[in-house]
Structure 1
């Protein structure tokens, strides 16, 4: 993942640095019945494009 280092460039966002992230997820309760309702669309937001712009990558697939 490449991220713009705005703190080091005075907020201009012109510098790019490599960063690594480690994500750990613990899954449990497989097979457990749940009753879930998705939130209304007005209460959600798709962050894909914003994250892509921040990281300097494209969210579009070919």
Structure 2
């Protein structure tokens, strides 16, 4: 499962947990997990963009 899929799955879990009126602690734990997935996704995307830019710059 890639980062984007993990984010979507965790968001669904968070929404379900909220609908079930689970405790704030549980919601916070799920939210923090989503934050980790988002950070990992953005790090990967930035790395890919930098690599593409480098390869474009070296091809000139």
TM-score by length of 1: 0.26
Larger helix percent:
2
Which structure features the higher share of strand residues?
A: 1
| TM-score (norm. length: structure 2) | 0.27
**Which structure has the greater CA radius of gyration?**
1
